[in-house]
Amino acid sequence: MIELQHVSKKYLLKKALDDIDVSFPIGKIIGVIGENGSGKSTMLKLIAGLLQPTNGEVLIDEKHADRKISTKVAYMSDIDQFYPFFTVNQLVDFYESQFQDFHREKARDILRLMHIEGDEKIKHLSKGNRGRVKMAVTLARNAPYILLDEPFSGLDPMVRTSIVQGMIQYIDLQSQTLIITTHEINEIEALLDEVIVLRKGKILGQQSTEDIRMEYQISVVDWMKQLYEGRTKYE
């Protein structure tokens, strides 16, 4: 299980996360949503061990999250961090050399699904196709926890739905937990088991999508809007 206990994170004078307590249940697809600057990316970087909290603890299966936690956490950044001179195939080779849980054939299957050729140089790909490559190599890991930070950024709205539907077949919810930050809530709402709403570094709400539909009879987007407007209480 992933747990953040009284976690705050400051960048100089700016507080990105402010004393939050949250846990992520195992075997779920969880959306972390909120406006720009709400702390979504910071939260994922803390879970991935790429940042350390200013205060509080980030625990992965009861162990502190640090750089070594990458053996359990597959993290896809919202920015491009690839060697641009690599071809797609060379990137697959690199990931296989770095992560014992990397499944080469799964990576190739996902790349075929996303219509990416292995001999293309990454620097020549469009922003959307670079995003597809990032998603492919991340999902090809058999890590217990998969973190996708804005995975649909730059993708044509016409192809998002098909990519979301194709992506889910490569997640094993018997052994994996998927956490997604996204602005494209409508496209993935049907996939989400649970959502966490952030605003200005604080958690406004955490709820199962089924409970939102049953209790409030509204969409996740409308529930988030009500939380932002203070019309829905979260205990």
Mean pLDDT calculated for residue range 201-226: 91
From residue 95, alpha-carbon distances to 3, 103, 192 in Å are: 27, 9, 28
Distance in angstroms (rounded) separating the CA atoms of residues 199 and 17: 9
215 three-class SS: helix
Q: Give tens-digit pLDDT for 46-81.
A: 999 999 999 999 999 999 999 889 899 999 988 877
Q: pLDDT tens digits, residue range 157-198?
A: 666 776 777 777 888 888 899 999 987 788 788 889 999 999
> Topology of 2-229 in CATH?
Rossmann fold (3.40.50)
Q: How confident is the model at residue 235 (pLDDT cuts 50, 70, 90)?
A: very low
- For residue 136, the tally of other CB atoms under 10 A from its CB is 26
pTM for the structure as a whole? 0.90
